[in-house]
Amino acid sequence: MNLDNAEKIFKVLYNSMPSIGFLSRKKRILAFISVTRDLQSMINAGDTDEEQAMFVLSMLMRKNKDFQKAAMMTALNLQHIGNKPLSDTGFKFANEIRTNMKLFTVDKLEDKKELE
C-alpha cells in the first residue's frame, strides 16, 4: 500500500465532504453516498485499490467527525437503504461498521432470491 497516495486521496475526500446538516438522517446518508461514490470512481480509474480505499475510509472515520456521523447513520439504516444507491466500496464499508457494532450484515439485494 502506498501511504503517500492514501494521504492524497484522504485529503481530496476530506475536502469534498458535503454538509451533513443538523440531525438530518437524509443529508448524512447522502454525504456518505457522495464520498464513497467519489472513492469508487477513483478505484474504477485505477488511482487506488479496494484495500487502500478501505484504509482511507477508516482514516476519514477517525479524522472527520462529519464523515463518522454519516457513516454510522448509513450503517444503522443499511437494512432499509439496501445496496442500490451505494457504491460497492460504500456498501462493504457500511457492512464492516455494522459488524464492528455487532449488528447483522446486510446482503446485497441482487443476491436475495424472491420467495415464491
DSSP string, 4-35: HHHHHHHHHHHHTPPP-TTT-HHHHHHHHHHH
Report the predicted TM-score, pTM, of the whole model to 2 decimal places.
Answer: 0.87
Domain membership of residue 76 as a residue range: 25-103
Q: Is residue 97 part of a domain?
A: yes
Q: C-alpha angle 32/33/36, rounded to 5°? A: 80
Listed in sequence order, the DSSP H helices in the chain are 3-15, 25-45, 50-63, 65-76, 78-81, 88-100
Q: Is residue 95 part of a domain?
A: yes
pLDDT in tens, 45-100: 999 999 999 999 999 999 999 999 999 999 999 988 877 889 999 999 999 999 99
Q: Is residue 69 part of a domain?
A: yes
Looking at every residue in the chain, the average pLDDT score rounds to 90
Q: Is residue 60 part of a domain?
A: yes
Q: Is residue 54 part of a domain?
A: yes
Mean pLDDT of the region 4-32: 94
* pLDDT value for 113: 41
Q: Is residue 2 part of a domain?
A: no
Domains of the chain: total: 1
Q: Is residue 20 part of a domain?
A: no
Q: Is residue 3 part of a domain?
A: no
